[in-house]
Amino acid sequence: MAKKTTKVDRKVLLDQFDQAACQRINDALYGDFGAGQQAIAETGVVWIETLLKKNKDYGSAIWKEPIMLAGFSAGDAILVRISDKVERCRHLLSDPDISPECDESLRDSMADLGGYCLLYLAVSGDAIAAPQTATDEG
């Protein structure tokens, strides 16, 4: 059984991650690892920035018990959102001639789906807990 990471251990891990990962991401952004890695890094950075902005706009609601589903966890609520996005993607892919009523493309739906998956990983399991602080809210 793996040892549960303590807050101090997380700080050390994050410091190590920051140095190595940030350099790797930076190198990828500059194309040092080829066009494919550059595209992944560019897409990832834009995607995470959008996710952070949306989280701020929603008042960090993702970390809270859903108002309309009292008793359900934040993780359960995210799974519902994931299910909705999978269904939307399935519907959009089922007929290439579908013209959505809303201005949300398959790409937008996929980005949202990926964002919800990342949020699920952040709120569940042994992820770093999200403290309710003033910076989370605004």
Q: Which domain holds residue 84?
A: 59-138
| Structural domain ending residue among the three candidates 57, 73, 104 | 57
The pLDDT score that the predictor gives to residue 137 is: 45
The pLDDT score that the predictor gives to residue 10 is: 63
Same domain, 124 and 78: yes
The pLDDT score that the predictor gives to residue 133 is: 43
Note down pLDDT in tens along the chain; length 138 residues. Answer: 455 555 556 667 667 677 888 889 999 999 999 999 999 999 999 999 999 999 899 988 888 888 888 888 888 889 999 999 999 999 989 987 777 777 788 899 999 999 999 999 888 654 444 434 444 444
How many CB atoms lie under 10 A from the CB of residue 103? 6
Same domain, 135 and 68: yes
Given CA atoms 11, 37, 52, 67 in this order, what sign does their dihedral have?
negative
Alpha helices in the chain (DSSP H): 7-29, 35-57, 74-94, 106-123, 134-137
Same domain, 99 and 133: yes
CA distances from 87 to 65, 120, 127 (A): 23, 18, 27
The pLDDT score that the predictor gives to residue 128 is: 41
Same domain, 9 and 68: no
Q: Are 109 and 98 in contact (CB under 8 A)?
A: no
Euclidean distance between CA atoms 67 and 79, whole angstroms: 15
Same domain, 30 and 78: no
Closest CA to 113 of 137, 91, 135: 91
Same domain, 94 and 134: yes
Euclidean distance between CA atoms 42 and 28, whole angstroms: 8
Same domain, 47 and 74: no
Structurally, the chain folds into a number of domains equal to 2
Same domain, 50 and 64: no
The pLDDT score that the predictor gives to residue 6 is: 55
Same domain, 129 and 66: yes
Same domain, 29 and 86: no
Same domain, 37 and 64: no
| Structural domain ending residue among the three candidates 34, 57, 80 | 57
How many CB atoms lie under 10 A from the CB of residue 119? 23
Which are the contacts of 72, defined by CB distance < 8 A and separation ≥ 6? 65, 66
Same domain, 64 and 130: yes
